[in-house]
Amino acid sequence: MQKPKGAVGIVVLFALIAVVMAVVSVKMSPLDKSNAAFVVQEPYLRSSLPTSTSAAAFMMLRNDTGRDDRLVAVRSGLSGRVELHTHTQDANGVVRMGPIEGGVALPDGTTHAFKRGGDHLMFIGLDAPLSQGQMVQVTLVFEKAGEVEISVPVDLDR
């Protein structure tokens, strides 16, 4: 029996390309010659229904800037208001989502997961319905680094 090594190799290669393409390294300034940056991995934005007036964005956000920072606000032309949300469970076991008070701490060298059922960016009051594959410009506002622009693709299938 001979294993189809070639086929496996190709599958692995495609998987690597998919991951690399999803990584968006965001320099804080065009003049910044160092490798200091925020790294955004696998960002996507979705709404539960095409007619929804709100949407949520998810991503892995890594701080490689060399100093501790904090994500304090988010802005986007997609909706008038964007809030940092999390899910919490009350004493009766009911899960609710609501704003994260004081923003999201992001110590240097750490990655924060914005994921389904957990922390997320909440876009409230969409001006238009989302379309699959649409790229949405989002401004992340950090306490120290200031404003960082990222692009987040709409993926309604995730």
138 binds Cu ion (CB under 5 A): no
The radius of gyration of the chain from alpha carbons, rounded to an integer in Å, stands at 18
Rounded to a whole number of angstroms, the minimum distance from the CB of residue 87 to Cu ion is 8
Number of residues that bind Cu ion (CB under 5 A): 3
Q: Using alpha carbons, select from 94, 88, 139, 146 the residue that is nearest to residue 117.
A: 88
Pairing of strands 37-46, 54-64: antiparallel
How far, in Å, CA of 153 to CA of 30, rounded?
23
Q: Which is nearer to Cu ion, 72 or 97 (CB)?
A: 97
Q: Which is nearer to Cu ion, 31 or 101 (CB)?
A: 101
**What is the footprint of Cu ion within residues 74-133 (CB under 5 A)?**
85, 97, 122
Rounded to a whole number of angstroms, the minimum distance from the CB of residue 146 to Cu ion is 25
26 binds Cu ion (CB under 5 A): no
Amino acid at 14: F
